[in-house]
């Protein structure tokens, strides 16, 4: 196995919850950026856990401005570096799923379209965790959040997860990849590829949240792996709009195995007709498997 770079740019001592998938995702992502870099970060868990004034977990120059402008601030940094003749320093923009697929989409789209040399990393924990687990555009079907609770007339979140990777690819972004913290080396390698590309790139890392999803702190990696093994989180990479690599699944698991381990889906196993929702989720997995030819 390839040895990971020893240097840590996101160091311990931060205030993440035990078993936080995001903290692991950020640590791995930073290991992929080997050149000198400057990072931006949207408002959210990552910013809050890592920079309680006057402390910081960041060994690289880092800036947080607002919730929805991580990509735009990064674009400005890149423009400033270019203006000063620095074509070497890499700019890394970071945001959670809400900051990326919801409130920050305009700025992200502009950054892609203008072709800035920025690597955007979306840490996807499928809801607004920092504010207390509210639904985002990346929340999957039927997941319970504090703004999409199950009830007499509800099975949790009504919508399916927004496909931000397809949106990135449709901008002509040179490198687009999904990754999961269940496969650490894959995360590092994808971010490395993204950072080495001259131009915009996008990596969305699936980072399970024990607090928000309701599972044991020791199970983060297992949950992350089940999302991949059930085909609910397809792991692949695209270059110039073409899929070039897919993580194949041997013996794809039924979605129940993933859902039953999380409190956010608990209602599906208790409510009348909950099984119908589970079947709908299984259909989503089947469709993913077909689209990305996931089955080995």
Residues that bind another protein (CB under 8 A): 36-38, 40, 47-48, 51-56, 58-66, 68-69, 72-84, 89, 106-107, 109-110, 113-114
Separation CA 155–CA 266 (nearest Å): 10
Residue 64 or residue 267: which is nearer to another protein going by CB? 64
Q: Rounded to the nearest 10 degrees, how much is the dihedral formed by the CA atoms of 169, 38, 191, 102?
A: -40
Minimum Å distance from CB 252 to another protein?
A: 40
Residue 12 or residue 251: which is nearer to another protein going by CB? 12
Minimum Å distance from CB 215 to another protein?
A: 27
Minimum Å distance from CB 16 to another protein?
A: 14
Minimum Å distance from CB 57 to another protein?
A: 9
Number of neighbouring beta carbons within 10 Å of residue 140: 21
Minimum Å distance from CB 276 to another protein?
A: 41
Residue 76 or residue 184: which is nearer to another protein going by CB? 76
Residue 109 or residue 160: which is nearer to another protein going by CB? 109
Separation CA 236–CA 244 (nearest Å): 8
Report CA-CA distances (Å) from 1 to 7, 45, 142, 167, 185.
18, 31, 38, 33, 9
Judged on CB neighbours under 10 Å (0-12, 13-18, 19+), 193 is middle
Residue 17 or residue 246: which is nearer to another protein going by CB? 17
């Amino acid at each position: 196995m390839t040895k990971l770079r020893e240097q840590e740019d996101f160091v311990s001592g931060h205030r993440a919850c035990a078993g936080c998938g995001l903290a692991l995702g950020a640590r791995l992502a930073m290991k992929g950026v080997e050149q000198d870099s400057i990072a931006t970060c949207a408002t959210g868990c990552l910013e809050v856990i890592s920079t309680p004034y006057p402390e910081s977990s960041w060994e690289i120059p880092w800036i947080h401005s607002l919730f929805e402008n991580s990509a735009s601030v990064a674009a400005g940094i890149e423009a400033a570096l270019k203006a000063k003749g620095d074509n070497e320093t890499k700019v890394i923009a970071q945001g959670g799923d809400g900051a990326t697929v919801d409130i920050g989409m305009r700025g992200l789209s502009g950054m892609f379209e203008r072709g800035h040399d920025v690597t955007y990393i979306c840490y996807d924990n499928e809801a607004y965790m920092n504010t207390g687990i509210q639904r985002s555009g990346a929340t999957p079907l039927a997941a319970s959040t504090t703004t999409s609770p199950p009830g007499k007339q509800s099975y949790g979140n009504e919508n399916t997860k927004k496909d931000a990777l397809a949106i990135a690819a449709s901008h002509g972004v040179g490198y687009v990849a999904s990754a999961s913290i269940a496969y650490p080396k894959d995360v590092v390698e994808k971010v490395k590829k993204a950072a080495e590309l001259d131009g915009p790139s996008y990596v969305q890392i699936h980072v399970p949240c024990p607090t928000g999803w309701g599972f044991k702190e020791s199970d983060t990696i297992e949950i992350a792996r089940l999302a991949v093994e059930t085909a609910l989180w397809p792991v692949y990479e695209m270059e110039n709009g073409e899929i070039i690599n897919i993580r194949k699944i041997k013996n794809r698991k039924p979605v129940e195995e993933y859902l039953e381990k999380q409190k956010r889906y608990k209602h599906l196993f208790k409510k009348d007709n909950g099984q119908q929702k589970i079947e709908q989720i299984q259909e989503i997995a089947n469709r993913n498997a077909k689209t990305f030819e996931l089955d080995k």
